[in-house]
Structure formats: C-alpha cells, structure tokens
Structure 1
Amino acid sequence: MPRIRTLSAAAAVAAAGAVLTTTAVAPAANAAPSHGGGGLDQRVQAAADRLVADGAPGVMIMTRRGDRVSHINAGVSDKATGRPMDHRLLIRAASVTKSFTSTIMLQLAAERRLSLDDTVEKWLPGLVQGNKNDGSQITIRQVLAQSSGLNDYTPDPRIMTDPKREWKPAELVAIAVEKERLYEPGKGWNYSNTNYILAGMIIEKATHHRVGTEFKRRIFGPLKLRHTFYPTTSSAFPGPYVHGYYGELGDVSTAISTSSARTSGGIISTVDDLARFHRALFTGRMLPAREMRELKTVQPVNDDGTVEDYGLGVARIAFPCGDAWGHDGGFPGYRTWTYTSADGRSQAVITYNSSSLEYDKRFRADLTKAAETAFCS
C-alpha cells in the first residue's frame, strides 16, 4: 500500500509508550462504547503499536463509526522530550492538500468562472512550453487527474539541495518543463506535483485572490477547520506540532520551506480537521452533483506499487469491506493516509512521523493491516 509522496527537498537537509484517547458523541466518553467500539479501539491500538515496533517514532490513528470517534496514539511526537503522540498536535498534511485544491477548482467550475475543458495556456499563457510540453494541449481536467504528461519537479537536484529557498510557483513549473513530456496529454497517467502547482496558479488567476484566501473562505472557514493552515513559504508551525524524522538527518520538522509544496502539498492540519473535510467532501456538502461526478470519475492507476482508482485530486481505494475515498500525503518527516466511506459513516486517518519506512516490507505489510483494521473492523 505505501508509496513515496515525500517532497524530495528532504534530501537536502543534510547540506515509547502508547496512549489511547476516545471522543464519543454518544454515549459519553467514559461510558462503555456501543457497537463493539472498545474492541475496535483495542485492535487499532495493537496495529499502531506494531507500526511503532517496526520503527515509526509515533503513530496516530483516528477512526469513525457513525457518531463515534476514537483517537489511538502510540509512540512519541518528539524524540527529544519523549512527548507522546496526541491527535490535537499539528502535522504536515502534504499531498492531502491536493483534495483541497481540486475542491476549489471544481467550485470555480460550478460557478462558471472557469471550465475543466479550459487549457492551461488560456489561464497561464506561455508558461508551459518547450520540450514537447504545450499548455494549449493540456486541460484543467487533465491537470487535476494527473494525466497532463508533465514531469514532476520535486526530484530535481535544485529542489533537494536548497531546502530553505523560497520557490515561486512559476520557477517550479519551469523546472518540470525542462524535460520532455512523458506522453501526450490524456493518454497516460503519472503522479506529478507540477499539476497542482499549476492548479494553484489558475485559482489565483480566476479569483484574483491568493490561494490561501480562497482556502479560508471556501473550506477552512465554512467547515470550522480551526487547526488547518496554509503557509506558502514558512517552515514554522503555528502551534504545537508532531516532530518529523528522516533517517540519519533526524528532526526535519522545520528544515524545509513549504514554498516547494504550496497547492500540491503545503497544508498543515490535524487528523480531525482532515477527517472533517473529507467527510464533508465525499458526502456532497462541498460540491454540486455535476462536479461531484467529475471529482469521482476515476481511472485505474499503479502508483509506485499501489493500485487504486484516481479521480480529480482524490482516490478510491478498495477494501474487503467496501470502497474508501481519500488521498495520502508525504512531506519530509511526515506520512498521512485518509479513508472515508461514501456515506461518511466510516473513516480512518493514519499518520506517522518518519520518512524512512516506505520500502520496509514488514512496515508496509503492517501498515496495510492497520488501514484495513481501522477502516473495516
């Protein structure tokens, strides 16, 4: 299941006890949980403990069954102090940001301020040209669906060797178009952060506002996401946070400017805020019916070994108990996976603070089991 979604700037940084908290709407938090909730918590706790035993410094798993929400914590949020994981702490949501960005683009389409059939060239003339890259052949729909054929800028050595640099969106796109396109737009699929940098630029052109303003006005505010933020260049957190670790580089929590992520992966949030957003999105509260159909029009993809169906900034993941919708994200030191049923009654959000476990076979297997337990049990 896991694959790398970590912004490669991380490589540049070189230049435990378990805690369980449960929040229940009904019955009261200290009462015996209904529908076997206590058993679920115990199984999820065991799954989180296994991930810590496999090497993750800390793990948080949020689950929802109807109105019952539980938070399972294992390990530490800060190795230096030994502070335990806590679901109230901030994390880097990384590429989960793409679902937020896509939602705004679809809202603008619903308002007829843009069309998904518009080309990149229409909104950003001259930006995507050269090496067989041609913005006049790429539609907004293809950008959101990751089928533009554009290369990803994040592996470029210039990103990796200058983590504190404040990158402008156009500079990131320019790095991507230095390479020849991977395929004719609409004729393939590849995961590229470049697409969502373009999406953010188009949002600003269409609204005449900063993307952060649109995030607040359209999503953060209406959904009361009080612990969700969109820093464009700062590497700091606006409150208490989970520390992220990257192998021998150690704590990289504040080592990298979010300017290399922006609308592809720059949001800071909590597990509860991410769950609240996804529940609202997938139950139809954020988009009209036509745009919901666009959001959920998927194609089967194999992303670095993970087989799923990818739509417009969201993915459909098959579980034995049924399908889940969501997106995952990785930023140096942080990894998050989100799962929400179409009716919003079942949810799981899994996050851990390490970027060194992606190809560990035991960890991968245990993460797959943890996701299935958290979403299906």
Structure 2
Amino acid sequence: MASVKIRLLSTTVAAAAVTAAVVPAAHAAAGPRSHGRHLDAKVQAQADRLVADGAPGVIVMTRRGGRVSHVTAGVSDKATGAPMDHRLLVRVASVTKSFTSTVMLQLAAERRLSLDDTVAKWLPGVVAGNGNDGSTITVRQLLAQTSGLNDYTPDPRVMSDPARTWTPAELIAIAMEKPPLYAPGTSWNYANTNYILAGMIIEKASGRPLGTEFQRRVFGPLRLRHTSFPTTDPSFPGPYVHGYYDEFGDVSTQISPSSARASGGIVSTVDDVARFHRALFTGRMLPPKQMRELRTVRPVNDDGIVEDYGLGVARIKFSCGYAWGHDGGFPGYRTWTYTSADGRSQAVITYNESKLEYDKKFRADLAEAADTAFCA
C-alpha cells in the first residue's frame, strides 16, 4: 500500500503560514476531555512538523470511541494562502481499492460471481499475449495483488500525457506488452492493473457502470455525501484541497482520473473515508465469510513499508497494536487511513504535495505522526 499507489509520488514544498484548527464532532463526548485535548495537542505538533518538513498542508482526523477531532496545519491553496480544512475534497487515490474490493466481495456474497472465477471467464481475450493468460488468474488473485501482472502506471505513455483520457482496455493493453513477473499466486507485487481488471469484472457481473455500483452499494447506504467517482473529468464537484507536484506546481485539475478508475479514482473527504472504513472493518458491509476473505493477509514489503496485505486492505502494526486500512497517492495528493478492528480508534492523514515520497526524514516523521494519531 505504500508510496505512490498511482505510482506518481507524493508530498511538498516549503510552507508559509501554519493555521491550526481542532474541530471536535458535534456528537463527540466519549472519553475524558483532558485526554482528548492532550491527543489533539500531540497530533497538532506532528502535523506542524510535517508542514515544516515541506508539506504545504496537512489534515489529520482522529477517532477515540465517540470522540472525533480534526487537526490541520498549513495551506490548502498556496496561491491564496487559504488554510487547510477537513471538509475539503481530496483525491484519495488507491484508498479506492478498498471500495472496489468491497463491491466485488458483495457480488461474491450474492453469488453473482466467485472469487475463484478466472479473469478469462469474465473478460475473455483481455489478459493475453507475452505469456499473460487470464485463464490462470483468479478474481481473488487480482484483489490480493498476486496475479503476477505488470503495472501499466509507470509506462512513459501514461506518465508523459497526464491529460489524456484512457480507457480501461487501453491501460490493460499496455500491461500486456510485458510478460508476467511470476506464476499467479506464487508471489506479490503492487499493480494498478489488477484493480482496473477488477472494475471491468464488476461491470460485467453487475451489468452496471462501476460508479453506479459504488453509489448504490457504498456511497448511498453510508451517506457518503462528499464522495464521488470521476472517471474522465479532472475537475472537483466542490471546494477542494489544491495538490502540488514539485516544479509542476498546482496539478489539482490537470491530470485525468481515467488512468486511475477502479484502482484509484475516488474523490472524498477524510470523514467520508473514515466512515467507510469503520463500516467495513466492523462488519457492516460484508457477511462473515467475505470478511474472512477480505482479512486473509500475507506479509509484503511495498516500497520499503512492511505490512500485511489482504483483498484491497492492509494490516499495519503500530506501537499499540494493529490497524486496518489502505493508503493512496495521486499527483498532488497522499492519504493514509487506519482503523482498529472494533472501529473505536481511527486516524486519517492527508497532505498535498508529491515530492516528499522518498524523503527519509519526512517518511520517518510521517510514521511517527501516524502512530501518534492512531495510538496516543
């Protein structure tokens, strides 16, 4: 789940003004107030440090039981100096994979498909050529990132033409130009290709566009009123955090989401993302059998981050125990989500610059901020 899930890096520049805001939820009352204030102060210090490290702006949402707080630092728009605000929209990128996996598992629970179905059953002839064979890859292996297929994302054609509108078939065709990395099910590699295929299978099995399935199965039932799934339009449907990509500047609306789609196309807020993951990991979205599938993990090392990966979700070890979630990176945006198995503890962190991905100090400070937000 690490680094650039759209594989195009992630966060920052120098930060001007640092504006802090702690906004408890209206219903927040559970737990000692003194502990809540102490947590907010610790998280604020961590957010301020990330801005000092170079992130233009940072949002951190935390939950402890019924108490929800938001801490912000820095700016959402460098041109105007507008402060960060937790209500603003961001591109959550590969956090989308948890949504896609959830819909696929719901279809499996309804017996509309099986996780043991082959890709070729649903998409005949799509995964073929150069040793790629859809008849040997299962739906489960797509969701678990164990298909062996190559990732289309780093291809120069995708990287060099960010405004182009790509079809899913075109993206898969790029991945098919290279032989598989290994036999299906024998190893692990992070590839957006897997989730583009998963989205195509969902559309075949349901008979509806993926965005419609997201709306009727997830966005609507959970009242995710600030969550959407653009596939070609790079604009935002409401006020948003501006995203920056090093010398390219503000890239917020310059890159087509068509190269992300089921692998990373969702636009949302930290609160909507937290609401979804809390519902998912506490069993509100899937029957027990599919929950067991979702949380069947294998240890992986993703760009230097060690974690356990399941079906579109990851289990991450913190000082206080394990969290479930996913992270995502899209040019200009980076989001990390963490939820305890009982849903009582949560943290969501997002920031808006794509150049700190491999900065050792920033990554160390980010890891400390995540542990503080989830555990303190």
- Fold match by TM threshold 0.5: yes
Match of 2:20, SS?
strand
Q: Is the 8 A contact 2:98 2:312 kept in 1?
A: yes
Q: Is the 8 A contact 1:151 1:181 kept in 2?
A: yes
Look up the match of 1:90.
Answer: 89
What are the superposed Cα offsets for residues 57-97 of structure 1, whole Å, 9 maximum, x if unpaired? Answer: 00000000000000000000000000000000000010000
Provide closer, same or farther for how the CA distance between residues 26 and 253 of structure 1 changes in structure 2, counting only shifts above 3 A.
closer
Cα distance in 2 for residues equivalent to 1:361 and 1:319 = 19
Q: Is the 8 A contact 2:5 2:192 kept in 1?
A: no
Q: State the AA in 2 paired with 1:85.
A: M
TM-score (ref. length: structure 2): 0.96
Q: Is the 8 A contact 1:338 1:348 kept in 2?
A: yes
Cα distance in 2 for residues equivalent to 1:111 and 1:23 = 39
**Which 4+ runs in 1 deviate beyond 3 A?**
6-10, 24-29
Cα distance in 1 for residues equivalent to 2:243 and 2:49 = 19
Provide closer, same or farther for how the CA distance between residues 122 and 362 of structure 1 changes in structure 2, counting only shifts above 3 A.
same
Provide closer, same or farther for how the CA distance between residues 24 and 161 of structure 1 changes in structure 2, counting only shifts above 3 A.
closer
How far did 1:33 drift? 5.7
Match of 2:347, SS?
strand
How far did 1:20 drift? 1.4
Is residue 2:46 matched to residue 1:47?
yes
Look up the match of 1:167.
Answer: 166
Q: Is the 8 A contact 2:6 2:260 kept in 1?
A: no
Look up the match of 1:213.
Answer: 212
Q: State the AA in 2 paired with 1:19.
A: A
Look up the match of 2:250.
Answer: 251
Cα distance in 2 for residues equivalent to 1:28 and 1:299 = 38
Runs of 5+ unmatched residues, structure 1: 11-15
Match of 2:324, SS?
strand
| Pairing of 1:182-193 with structure 2 (within 5 A) | 182-193=181-192
Q: State the AA in 2 paired with 1:322.
A: G
Q: Is the 8 A contact 2:145 2:194 kept in 1?
A: yes
Q: State the AA in 2 paired with 1:184.
A: A
How far did 1:8 drift? 3.7
Q: Is the 8 A contact 1:9 1:159 kept in 2?
A: no
Is residue 2:342 matched to residue 1:343?
yes
Match of 1:364, SS?
helix
User: C-alpha root-mean-square deviation of aligned residues, in Å?
Assistant: 1.6
How far did 1:23 drift? 1.9
How far did 1:28 drift? 6.4
Provide closer, same or farther for how the CA distance between residues 35 and 202 of structure 1 changes in structure 2, counting only shifts above 3 A.
farther
Look up the match of 2:294.
Answer: 295
Match of 1:107, SS?
helix
Look up the match of 1:235.
Answer: 234
| Pairing of 1:63-78 with structure 2 (within 5 A) | 63-78=62-77
Q: State the AA in 1 paired with 2:23.
A: T
Kindly tell me the number of residue pairs found equivalent between the two proteins.
370
Provide closer, same or farther for how the CA distance between residues 351 and 9 of structure 1 changes in structure 2, counting only shifts above 3 A.
closer
Cα distance in 1 for residues equivalent to 2:19 and 2:372 = 18
Q: Is the 8 A contact 1:8 1:159 kept in 2?
A: no
Provide closer, same or farther for how the CA distance between residues 130 and 69 of structure 1 changes in structure 2, counting only shifts above 3 A.
same
Look up the match of 1:4.
Answer: 4
Look up the match of 2:261.
Answer: 262
Is residue 2:24 matched to residue 1:23?
yes
How far did 1:195 drift? 0.2
Q: Is the 8 A contact 1:91 1:334 kept in 2?
A: yes
Is the deviation greater in 114-123 or in 156-165?
156-165
Q: State the AA in 2 paired with 1:53.
A: A
Look up the match of 1:157.
Answer: 156
What are the superposed Cα offsets for residues 246-300 of structure 1, whole Å, 9 maximum, x if unpaired? Answer: 0000000001110000000000000000000000000000000000000000000
How far did 1:175 drift? 0.2
Look up the match of 1:13.
Answer: none
Cα distance in 1 for residues equivalent to 2:135 and 2:337 = 34
Q: Is the 8 A contact 1:2 1:364 kept in 2?
A: no
How far did 1:34 drift? 2.2
Match of 1:285, SS?
coil
Q: Is the 8 A contact 2:56 2:353 kept in 1?
A: yes
Cα distance in 2 for residues equivalent to 1:59 and 1:24 = 19
Cα distance in 2 for residues equivalent to 1:166 and 1:53 = 36
Look up the match of 1:135.
Answer: 134
| Pairing of 1:292-371 with structure 2 (within 5 A) | 292-371=291-370
Match of 1:36, SS?
helix
What are the superposed Cα offsets for residues 332-366 of structure 1, whole Å, 9 maximum, x if unpaired? Answer: 00000000000000000000001100111110110
Cα distance in 2 for residues equivalent to 1:295 and 1:27 = 30
Report the identity percentage.
75
Match of 2:24, SS?
strand
Q: State the AA in 2 paired with 1:231.
A: P
Cα distance in 2 for residues equivalent to 1:121 and 1:115 = 13
Cα distance in 2 for residues equivalent to 1:19 and 1:155 = 36
Q: State the AA in 1 paired with 2:218.
A: I
Runs of 5+ unmatched residues, structure 2: 11-16
Provide closer, same or farther for how the CA distance between residues 9 and 51 of structure 1 changes in structure 2, counting only shifts above 3 A.
closer
TM-score (ref. length: structure 1): 0.96
Look up the match of 2:372.
Answer: 373
Look up the match of 2:121.
Answer: 122
